[in-house]
């Protein structure tokens, strides 16, 4: 064979091999993976816009760790989030489906459908250990993203937070990374999938030092720099433990942040690029996929199918994203593809229109009452609306958008609005959370305002709300009243006004504001709860009961209303009135773990242990992490003399809810029974810090000092403080007898006898 022919044959064979190895949709990952198992770590940094990373061109460079990830992997220049809201966006990331399909359209009022197969479930079915570490209550397990995780680190104590926004309930990256590293240390030798969520770039922007001082006028950058420092710490651990050899790591964000662009200060209201353009980086141990870049449009829905294909797992049929493996070489010409984004926040919270956007590699269409079209190549800041200039492009994109939505929504899942337990909903209402458990069809067919025309009102309400929650009540009330005089149709404006009045302890005015909010949004259960809470604060339980019954009579019959009434009476120890309401809640919602738990608490109070055990068992099957469930179960075990099990349950309850003073107090009592005095004292001190208004804690700390024969005067002051807080009649004698003993030790025998006499009188009068 001639030399030229031989060369040609070799080239043909090479081309054939190359086609086999790098056929479309593969890029060679399967061959590179071989039979080896690869672990997977998914990191999502909340509220991180792509153009604030050094590897995406930002100066000054505040993200060296994230830049290192990009240099070690494949960076996607144009990844689009499907919504600028945390829970819906993570639902898309972890199911590979669009909000159109999975139905989660807002934070707080939606639960991820259990019938969807999540990424965690796919890995768990394949024998992986699965764990999640989330940094914000908006991703708490009760919203359904825990499906498939063996371990889900959330543990948020709502009782510690007083601010109005659900987004306030969060933890710093350092704490989340610590927990993730501890889990990895135990599971690094096995096959694992871990999801780590960091929340720090979200408002409020309060970076710790030294980042606060480094960015005094740009706290958002300070939060990003701090988050990057924690990612650097995490990366160093992976390097030290040599975990990169069989690891696929993904870095992404759920959405961006507007930072004042287009008039929006944060996110959720608009779908412009600053809110939906996010970083996406895949890191593999394969040399040929290091430092690669793909410039075409991709989406967050693509993460799940990409990771499943990378690890050789089957992609569930309902997944709507596409595997990105074919782009890992980075040299391909960008494919033209349509990326979808939406926000229903203006619709659900204000009664204004939702926004939907569709973009390809050049153009972006925003479907709104006044539609928008932008050429992202020549106008990346989306300033020139081309709807009337590029009519053909507008018509073609509109047609494609209609086809896209029709196809994506063919087998859409309807949201389940009753999935969140009643206790959680009541606590969110008490927090002043501005979301509602609403039917998304509530405003169907109505002509809705364009959010572009309402952004100033939205910003004014947001500022006034934050001003009020910071304690500047008069200023906030004046601002909100002015807004509502000009536009009296904004239900959330009245809701915000009600929250400010409530925080200012102007309860009657709060009732009036919440009632107006309810008139504008008749299915807002939070407004109903808050009116009832106001009447309870005014010590008018009959009015609270009457108001809720009126809502039921008009057809707004929600199981949680009965739970509210039961709770109001139970808190005042009126169990005869409380029990029928909890039973009615359970009748209307047989899956209410909260109602079972509340009935069990009443049974415990009445020493009906069989009844308590039955309802606690039912509650545990429905929701094993329900607040107060382990506390009540611990009380049952105490009554059954199963003290060690009771202690363990109290400790679990405290771990999840550090301010649960009753669990702390009861745990201290069990330490006392075991003569573990120092642990008793430390636990009592924690109980006092958690609730300085509980009188018995003062008594028992003083009792420890009395037993030790020390700090008598301090103990006297503690007991007197406890007496000032008016303990119930059953425990009042203890305070006087403690004072009698303490004054006896101090040598003041006359005062000692006076207090002893008071104690004896109380005991005799109670017989």
Q: What is the pLDDT of residues 190-213, one digit of tens each?
A: 999 999 999 999 988 999 999 999
3 state SS for 527-550: HHHHHHHHHHHCCCHHHHHHHHHH
Task: Categorise residue 106: left if φ over 0, alpha if ψ from -120 to 50, beta otherwise.
Answer: beta
Lookup: tokens for 113 = 């459908």
Residue 19: pLDDT band (50, 70, 90) is very low
Per-residue CA distances from 494 to 380, 450, 477, 518 (Å): 37, 20, 10, 9
Convert the pLDDT of each residue in 21-75 to its tens digit. 333 445 678 888 888 889 999 999 999 999 999 999 999 999 999 999 999 999 9
Residue predicted with more confidence, 529 or 376: 376
DSSP β-ladder status, 73-80 and 292-299: parallel
- Scan for tokens 């989340």, then name that residue: 176
Q: Quote the CA–CA distance of 420 and 441 in Å, as a whole number.
A: 19
Q: Are 87 and 104 in contact (CB under 8 A)?
A: yes
Q: Quote the CA–CA distance of 663 and 620 in Å, as a whole number.
A: 18
In 253-346, where do the E strands start and end? 277-278, 280-283, 292-299, 339-343
| pLDDT at position 433 over 70 | no
What pLDDT does 462 receive? 82
Residue 656: pLDDT band (50, 70, 90) is confident
Q: Quote the CA–CA distance of 435 and 417 in Å, as a whole number.
A: 12
User: Which CATH topology does 36-408 take?
Assistant: Alkaline Phosphatase, subunit A (3.40.720)
Residue predicted with more confidence, 588 or 348: 588
What pLDDT does 427 receive? 63
For 53, half-sphere exposure in the C-beta direction (CA atoms, 13 angstrom radius) is 30
If DSSP codes are grouped into helix, strand and coil, which group holds residue 297?
Answer: strand
Q: Count the residues in the chain.
A: 767
Lookup: tokens for 629 = 């469930």
Q: The pTM is what?
A: 0.78
Q: Quote the CA–CA distance of 423 and 405 in Å, as a whole number.
A: 36
What pLDDT does 124 receive? 97
Flag the least confident range among 66-70, 354-358, 490-494, 702-706. 490-494
Determine whether 434 is exposed, middle or buried from the number of CB atoms within 10 Å of its CB (0-12, 13-18, 19+).
Answer: buried
Residue 425: pLDDT band (50, 70, 90) is low
CA-based end-to-end distance of the chain: 117
Q: Are 647 and 664 in contact (CB under 8 A)?
A: no
| pLDDT at position 9 over 80 | no
Lookup: tokens for 582 = 């909890």
Q: Which residues contact 305 (CB under 8 A, 6 or more apart)?
A: 96, 315, 319, 321, 322, 323
Q: At what angle do helices 559-570 and 575-588 cross, to 10 degrees?
A: 160
What pLDDT does 107 receive? 84
Convert the pLDDT of each residue in 334-370 to its tens digit. 998 999 999 999 988 888 899 999 999 999 999 999 9
DSSP β-ladder status, 339-343 and 355-359: antiparallel
Stated as kind and residue range, the H or E segment containing 404 is helix 391-408
| pLDDT at position 445 over 70 | no
Cis peptide before 204 (omega within 30 of 0): yes
Question: How many CB atoms are closer than 10 A to CB 444?
Answer: 7
Separation of CA 16 from chain center: 51
Per-residue CA distances from 530 to 297, 479, 496, 566, 709 (Å): 45, 21, 11, 15, 49
Q: Quote the CA–CA distance of 433 and 168 in Å, as a whole number.
A: 10
Q: Quote the CA–CA distance of 36 and 247 in Å, as a whole number.
A: 11
Q: Quote the CA–CA distance of 507 and 502 in Å, as a whole number.
A: 5
Stated as kind and residue range, the H or E segment containing 700 is helix 695-708
Q: Quote the CA–CA distance of 445 and 343 in Å, as a whole number.
A: 18
Q: Are 531 and 390 in contact (CB under 8 A)?
A: no
Convert the pLDDT of each residue in 158-194 to its tens digit. 554 444 444 456 689 999 999 999 999 999 999 999 9
Q: Quote the CA–CA distance of 711 and 267 in Å, as a whole number.
A: 54
If DSSP codes are grouped into helix, strand and coil, which group holds residue 375?
Answer: strand
What is the 3-state composition of the chain as percent helix, strand, coil, each rounded to the nearest 5?
A: 55, 10, 35
Q: At what angle do helices 629-639 and 609-622 cross, to 10 degrees?
A: 150
Lookup: tokens for 266 = 């944060």
Q: Quote the CA–CA distance of 441 and 449 in Å, as a whole number.
A: 16
Separation of CA 2 from chain center: 70
| pLDDT at position 535 over 90 | yes
Q: Quote the CA–CA distance of 401 and 410 in Å, as a whole number.
A: 14
Lookup: tokens for 592 = 């209410």
What pLDDT does 15 receive? 34
Q: Over pLDDT 70: what percentage of the chain?
A: 90
**Radius of gyration of the chain from its Cα atoms, rounded to whole angstroms:** 30
What pLDDT does 12 receive? 34
Query: Mean pLDDT of all residues in the chain?
Result: 89
Domain boundaries, the chain: 36-408
Convert the pLDDT of each residue in 88-142 to its tens digit. 999 999 999 999 999 998 887 788 999 999 999 999 999 999 999 999 888 888 7
Q: What backbone phi and psi angles, to 5 degrees, belong to 147? A: -55, 120
Q: Are 70 and 55 in contact (CB under 8 A)?
A: yes
Lookup: tokens for 386 = 């081309």
Q: Quote the CA–CA distance of 578 and 602 in Å, as a whole number.
A: 9
Stated as kind and residue range, the H or E segment containing 731 is none
For 301, half-sphere exposure in the C-beta direction (CA atoms, 13 angstrom radius) is 23
Task: Categorise residue 347: left if φ over 0, alpha if ψ from -120 to 50, beta otherwise.
Answer: alpha
What pLDDT does 471 receive? 87
Q: Quote the CA–CA distance of 697 and 661 in Å, as a whole number.
A: 9
What pLDDT does 3 receive? 42
Q: What backbone phi and psi angles, to 5 degrees, belong to 688? A: -65, -40
């Amino acid at each position: 064979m001639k030399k030229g022919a031989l060369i040609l044959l070799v080239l043909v064979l090479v081309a054939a091999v190359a086609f086999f190895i790098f056929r479309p949709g593969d890029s060679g990952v399967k061959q590179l993976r071989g039979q080896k198992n690869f672990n997977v770590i998914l990191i999502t940094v909340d509220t991180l816009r792509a153009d604030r990373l050094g590897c995406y061109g930002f100066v000054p460079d505040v993200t060296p760790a994230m830049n290192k990830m990009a240099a070690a992997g494949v960076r996607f220049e144009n990844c689009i989030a499907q919504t600028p809201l945390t829970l819906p966006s993570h639902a898309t990331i972890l199911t590979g489906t669009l909000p159109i399909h999975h139905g989660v359209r807002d934070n707080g009022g939606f639960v991820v459908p259990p019938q969807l197969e999540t990424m965690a479930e796919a890995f768990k079915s394949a024998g992986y250990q699965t764990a999640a570490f989330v940094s914000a209550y908006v991703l708490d397990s009760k919203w359904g993203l825990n499906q498939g995780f063996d371990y889900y680190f959330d543990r948020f104590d709502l009782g510690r937070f007083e601010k109005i926004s659900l987004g306030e309930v969060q933890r710093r990256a350092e704490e989340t990374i610590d927990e993730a590293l501890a889990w990895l240390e135990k599971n690094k030798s096995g096959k694992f999938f871990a999801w780590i969520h960091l929340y720090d770039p979200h408002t409020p922007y309060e970076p710790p030092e030294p980042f606060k001082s480094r960015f005094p006028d740009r706290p958002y950058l300070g939060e990003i720099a701090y988050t990057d420092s924690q990612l650097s710490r995490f990366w160093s651990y992976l390097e030290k433990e040599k975990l990169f050899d069989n690891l696929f790591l993904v870095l992404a964000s759920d959405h961006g942040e507007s930072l004042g662009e287009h008039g929006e200060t944060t996110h959720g209201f608009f779908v412009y690029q600053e809110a939906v353009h996010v970083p996406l980086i895949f890191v593999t141990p394969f040399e040929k996929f290091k430092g690669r870049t793909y410039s075409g449009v991709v989406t967050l829905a693509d993460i799940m199918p990409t990771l499943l294909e990378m690890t050789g797992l089957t992609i569930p049929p309902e997944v709507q994203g596409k595997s990105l493996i074919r782009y890992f070489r980075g040299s391909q010409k960008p494919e033209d593809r349509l990326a979808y984004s939406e926000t229903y926040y203006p619709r659900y919270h204000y009664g204004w229109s939702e926004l939907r956007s569709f973009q390809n590699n050049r153009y972006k269409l925003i479907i709104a009452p006044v539609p928008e079209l932008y050429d992202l190549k020549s106008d990346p800041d989306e300033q020139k609306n081309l709807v009337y200039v590029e009519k053909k492009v507008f018509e073609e994109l509109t047609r494609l958008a209609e086809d896209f939505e029709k196809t994506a929504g063919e087998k859409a899942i309807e949201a389940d609005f009753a999935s969140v337990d009643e206790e959680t909903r009541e606590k969110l209402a008490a927090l002043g959370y501005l979301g509602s458990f609403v039917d998304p069809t509530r405003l169907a067919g109505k002509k809705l305002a364009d959010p572009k025309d309402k952004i100033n009102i939205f910003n004014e309400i947001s500022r006034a709300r934050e001003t009020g929650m910071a304690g500047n009540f008069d200023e906030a009330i004046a601002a909100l009243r002015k807004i509502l005089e000009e536009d009296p149709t904004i239900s959330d404006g009245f809701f915000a006004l009600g929250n400010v009045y409530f925080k200012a302890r102007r309860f009657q005015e709060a009732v009036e504001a919440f009632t107006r909010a309810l008139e504008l949004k008749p299915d807002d259960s939070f407004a109903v709860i808050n009116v009832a809470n106001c009447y309870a604060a005014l010590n008018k339980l009959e009015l609270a009961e009457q108001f809720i019954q009126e809502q039921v009579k008009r057809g707004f019959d929600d199981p949680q209303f009965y739970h509210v009434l039961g709770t109001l009476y139970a808190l005042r120890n009126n169990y005869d009135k409380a029990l029928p309401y909890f039973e009615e809640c359970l009748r209307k919602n047989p899956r209410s773990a909260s109602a079972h738990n509340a009935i069990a608490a009443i049974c415990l109070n009445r020493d009906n242990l069989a009844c308590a055990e039955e309802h606690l068992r039912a509650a545990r099957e429905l929701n094993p992490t329900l607040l107060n469930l382990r506390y009540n179960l611990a009380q049952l075990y105490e009554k059954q003399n199963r003290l060690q099990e009771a202690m363990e349950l109290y400790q679990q309850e405290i771990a999840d809810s550090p301010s649960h003073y009753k669990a702390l107090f009861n745990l201290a009592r069990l330490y006392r029974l075991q003569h573990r005095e120092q642990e008793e004292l430390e636990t009592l001190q924690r109980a006092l810090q958690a609730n300085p208004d509980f009188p018995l804690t003062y008594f028992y700390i003083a009792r420890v000092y009395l037993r030790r024969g020390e700090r008598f005067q301090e103990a006297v002051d503690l007991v007197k403080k406890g007496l000032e807080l008016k303990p119930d009649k059953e425990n009042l004698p203890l305070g006087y007898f403690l004072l009698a003993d303490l004054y006896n030790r101090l040598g003041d025998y006359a005062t000692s006898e006076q207090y002893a006499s008071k104690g004896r009188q109380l005991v005799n009068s109670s017989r």
